[in-house]
């Protein structure tokens, strides 16, 4: 880990601290970066897999989930 200096909107940091109940600015920034990486990885996975049609009714889907 290394030290990095950045200028961040203080209001944004304060709002994030209140909403997340995290204790430090560092925790808020790390949580935000982790969430960003997760989101981008999901987007990349969706692009890799593409899209396809699924022909299931809600009833069939619930039945399949219950069988697990």
Q: What tens digit of pLDDT does each residue of 7-56 get?
A: 999 999 999 999 999 999 999 999 999 999 999 999 998 888 887 777 88
Alpha carbon distance, N-terminus to C-terminus of the chain? 42
What pLDDT score was predicted for residue 24? 97
Residue 46 pLDDT:
84
- Residue written as token pair 């935000």: 32
Return the higher-pLDDT residue of 35 and 1: 35
CA–CA dist 5, 8 (Å, integer): 10
**pLDDT (0 to 100) of residue 47:** 87
60 vs 34: which has the higher pLDDT: 34
């Amino acid at each position: 880990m290394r030290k990095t200096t950045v200028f961040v909107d203080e209001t944004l940091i304060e709002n994030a601290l209140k909403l997340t109940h995290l204790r430090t600015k560092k925790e808020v920034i790390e949580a935000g970066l982790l969430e960003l990486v997760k989101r981008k990885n999901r987007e990349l996975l969706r692009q890799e897999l593409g899209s396809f049609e699924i022909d299931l009714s809600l009833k069939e889907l619930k039945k399949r989930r219950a069988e697990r």
